[in-house]
Chain A
Amino acid sequence: MRPLTEEETRVMFEKIAKYVGENLQLLVDRPDGTYCFRLHNDRVYYVSEKILKLAANISGDKLVSLGTCFGKFTKTHKFRLHITALDYLAPYAKGFGVAAKSTQDCRKVDPMAIVVFHQADIGEYVRHEETLT
């Protein structure tokens, strides 16, 4: 387990910023506690300081996971975002989905037109069981 290097942080932030935009700094700097990113076995975990201090007592080969896994770095050092990061990204998201109309059309369209298709993965039924009917 180790903190991310400058390069790794930059790659990760660029990826997350595509979904979340400027609100990323709310993830980095939270009012309700110190949270940090840590790398363990090529996976990036978003973990609070308290949990991190507890996890430090477990040896590296026995530690499976800690906090929330945001994603992993592939062998060629690209960052792949995982679905487990959704809970943290969703509040700051800029609209999840596929664009139904082009950028230009979006501006000229009437207020009731569909602009974004919300495509969910198979797990959405399980995650939002209570809210969907």
Chain B
Amino acid sequence: MSTVYPERMSPGGAMEGQSVEELLAKAERDEAEKLQRITVHKELELEFDLGNLLASDRNPPTGLRRAGPTPEVELKALARDNTQLLINQLWQLPTERVEEALVARLPEPTTRLPREKPVPRPRPLTRWQQFARLKGIRPKKKTNLVWDEVSGQWRRRWGYQRARDDTKEWLIEVPGGADPLEDQFAKRIQAKKERVAKNELNRLRNLARAHKMQLPSAAGMHPTGHQSKEELGRAMQVAKVSTASVGRFQERLPKEKAPRGSGKKRKFQPLFGDFAAEKKSQLELLRVMKSKKPQLDVTRATNKQMREEDQEEAAKRRKMSQKGKRKGGRQGPGGKRKGVPPSQGGKRKAGLGGKMNSGPLPFGGKRKGGQHQGGKRRK
């Protein structure tokens, strides 16, 4: 027997009713707003590649075209809409929990990305491949397992527990012509090592040929002696320079020619250096050219000074040696020799003579050159 007295049930009935209605309406409005936020209307559906987190929008950008010179607002809205759609798609993926974080498992990417690096160029054939191609040798298909008589089972052709293992032999007969005191086991091991080393060398050489690199070889010499003229030349050059004086006092054979291109490599300014600095240096050069005064070339001046000093010293030494020789001749063997002994003095004189010959020319030449330069500058 329950009677419902609505008025009594809700003393502030009207108000609560209103508030309930209000609440309901508010909730509905909130729902609608939320839906509006997360639902985006697009004429054409977006294409999704969730593996790459990619969303492609093929809708024509009429909104942007209408925007005018500053489309920032429209762009932002477009970005927001598209991102919302992408996130909606992501929420539909299967999720899992990893260390207290909710993680969506992305599918495989469907967009094919272009190559990062260029296509690898075809490798040059190895020496064996060239030979096989020449002779027409085809690789023979061999069986993996071979019947081993000794153990009475199928063993692999090579590798661990192989069929005919040389190293496991406990008796090696000394061959007819060999020294009886020679260790045949050691000889076998040595031969194997040499074969392995040769194989490794060939492999590295093939690799170097493929990558067009140079093998770091011992002093440029090849163990088997097959070397080209250029390689030998280079090895010889390196050997020549590997002295304490960096090859300065190494004599050449009578008919040997000087090596070409062994000078210092020139260094140039970079292509896009500092443009402002370049301009400044050029303007400075122009200013110097315009000034019509012969500028002091410091290096030239110092060299000239040094040469003058050397010549003075040489002249002095010559005088001393001459004096010493004359005096030595008069005094005889017992007397003290002033300065240097005559033989050395003689040598030096000859050297000096040579030097003196070349002395005046550069002097005059330099002076002439200097004047010429000054003349040019005056113009």
Known contacts A10-B285, A13-B285, A22-B290; decide if A5 and B279 are in contact (CB<8 Å). Answer: no
B269 on the interface (CB 8 Å rule)? yes
Q: Does B283 lie within 8 Å of A28, measured CB to CB?
A: yes
Of B271, B283, B286, the contact of A3 (CB 8 Å cutoff):
B271
- Distance in angstroms from B123 CB to nearest chain A CB is 24
Encoded as 1 (CB less than 8 Å from any B CB) or 0, chain A from 1 to 41 comes to: 11101100110011001000010110011000010101000
Closest CB in chain A relative to B283 CB, distance in Å: 6
Return the chain A residue nearest B270 by Cβ.
A3
Q: Interface stretch among A49-57, A93-101, A117-125?
A: A49-57
When distances are taken between beta carbons in the complex, the residues of chain A under 8 Å from B268 are: 2-3, 5
Contacts of A52 in B (CB 8 A): 271-272
Would you give the shortest CB distance from A31 to chain B, in whole angstroms? 12
Tell me the dominant secondary structure on chain A's binding face: helix
| Chain A interfacial residues counted at CB < 8 A | 22
Contact with B along A32-75 (1 / 0, CB 8 A): 00101010000000000100110010000000000000000000
B271 touches A38 (CB 8 A): yes
Min CB gap B40→A, angstroms: 42
Q: Does B129 reach chain A (CB closer than 8 Å)?
A: no
Kindly list chain A residues whose C-beta atoms are within 8 Å of the C-beta of B278: 3, 36
Query: Roughly how many angstroms separate A22 CA and B286 CA in the complex, as a whole number?
Result: 8
Contacts A3-B278, A34-B279 known; A25 to B271 CB distance under 8 Å? no
Chain B residues whose C-beta falls within 8 Å of the C-beta of A3 in the assembled complex: 268-271, 273, 278
From B268, B272, B282, name the one whose CB has the most chain A CB atoms within 10 angstroms.
B282
Chain B: which residue is nearest A56 at the CB level? B271
Q: Which residues on A sit within 8 Å (CB–CB) of B285?
A: 6, 9-10, 13
- In the bound complex, do residue B272 and residue A25 qualify as a contact, i.e. CB atoms below 8 Å apart? no
Known: A9-B282, A28-B282. A1 touches B271 (CB 8 A): yes
CB contact under 8 A between A24 and B271, given known A3-B278, A29-B279, A34-B279: no
On whether the beta carbons of A28 and B269 are closer than 8 Å, the reply is: no
B64 at the interface (CB under 8 A from A): no
Whether B275 and A49, one on each chain, are in contact in the complex, defined by CB atoms closer than 8 angstroms, is yes
Q: Is the CB of B271 within 8 A of A2?
A: yes
B positions within 8 Å CB-CB of A: 268-273, 275, 278-279, 281-283, 285-286, 289-290, 376
Per CB-CB distance, the 5 closest pairs between chain A and chain B, nearest first, are A2-B268, A3-B269, A28-B282, A34-B275, A25-B286
Query: What would be 5 A-B contacts, judged by CB atoms less than 8 Å apart?
Result: A2-B269, A3-B273, A14-B376, A17-B289, A36-B278
Task: State the A residues within 8 Å of B (CB).
Answer: 1-3, 5-6, 9-10, 13-14, 17, 22, 24-25, 28-29, 34, 36, 38, 49, 52-53, 56
Question: 6 additional contacts, CB 8 Å, given A2-B269, A52-B271?
Answer: A3-B278, A5-B268, A6-B281, A29-B283, A34-B275, A52-B272
